[in-house]
Amino acid sequence: MYRYVIAYKPYGVLSIHHRDPLGRGTLTTLGIPVTLNPAGRLDLDSEGLLLLTDDGQTLHRLTHPYFRHSKTYLVLVLGRPSAEALAQLRAGVEIKGRRTRPADVEVLMGEPHLPPFPRQLPSPAKTTWLRIVLREGRKRQVRRMTGAVGHPTVRLVRVAIGRLTLPRDLAPGEWRDLSATELRVLLDDVWPRGRRRSGSPTRVRRYS
């Protein structure tokens, strides 16, 4: 029986299991079993939804660029992006000689409901919240995209992978097994038309 876990990776924690020589927090620090591998990492200074599993086939389909599964981020950037900057983000920007795929980019009118950030942030008057949906996963892609159009990222939270969303009641550092409903949503996204057997969730438990 495969296991599927959803976690809120906090700011300042690495998306790895082995011990960090600099003493920074890791997935092992959070108590996540080493048998579970993340479906796409988050940077040290990023936070939010981390999906982990020991189901190698599903992990492959979630992470291989061919399948183009969407990932949704709430992104706080410095300044007020112009219509031109937003159009660039949507169309794709040049990063190390390669243009990013088109992205969905939306300006949020208010501050999203998120846990407090552990660092001092610029005042709201100097920043803008964006919702960005990507269908590829390059290293530090969101930060490089916003930086390329002149608006550095100061906070980045992944809130969805496909239709699987970060639970509102999951605090930074907490994790739990997917519920039966969440697992069904995940497998329907990853295996359309039922081309693979259904998974079976373990009993839902919460950890922190």
Taken as a whole, the chain contains a residue count of 208
Give the pLDDT confidence score for residue 28 in this predicted structure: 95
Instruction: State the average pLDDT over residues 90-99.
Output: 94
Contact 42, 74 (CB under 8 A): no
State the CATH number of the domain containing residue 147: 3.30.70.1560
Residues 166 and 154 in one domain: no
Of 160, 181, 196, the domain-final residue: 160
Contact 175, 5 (CB under 8 A): yes
pLDDT band, very low/low/confident/very high, at 18 (cuts 50, 70, 90): confident
Instruction: Determine the Cα–Cα distance for residues 34 and 17; give it in Å rounded to an integer.
Output: 6
Of residues 201 and 58, more confidently modeled: 58
pLDDT band, very low/low/confident/very high, at 201 (cuts 50, 70, 90): very low
Residues 107 and 27 in one domain: no
Residues 78 and 57 in one domain: no
Q: With b meaning 16 or more CB within 10 Å and e meaning fewer, what string describes 48-85?
A: bbbbbbebeebbebbeeeeeebebbbbbbbbeebeeeb
Q: Is the pLDDT assigned to residue 146 strictly greater than 80?
A: yes
The two tokens of residue 71 are: 């990932």
Contact 145, 103 (CB under 8 A): yes
Residues 167 and 155 in one domain: no
Which uninterrupted H or E stretch holds 125?
Answer: none
Query: What is the domain range of residue 121?
Result: 71-160
Residues 87 and 107 in one domain: yes
Give the pLDDT confidence score for residue 137 in this predicted structure: 85
Give the pLDDT confidence score for residue 196 in this predicted structure: 59
The two tokens of residue 184 are: 């069904």
Residues 170 and 156 in one domain: no
Only one residue has tokens 């922190």, namely: 208
Give the pLDDT confidence score for residue 175 in this predicted structure: 98
Cα angle: 77, vertex 83, 88; to 5 degrees: 75
Residues 144 and 193 in one domain: no
Residues belonging to the active site: 43
Q: Is the pLDDT assigned to residue 199 strictly greater than 50?
A: no
State the CATH number of the domain containing residue 25: 3.30.70.580
Number of independent structural domains in the chain: 2
Residues 156 and 89 in one domain: yes
Please give the mean pLDDT across all residues of the chain: 92
pLDDT band, very low/low/confident/very high, at 168 (cuts 50, 70, 90): very high
Residues 116 and 174 in one domain: no
Contact 54, 3 (CB under 8 A): yes
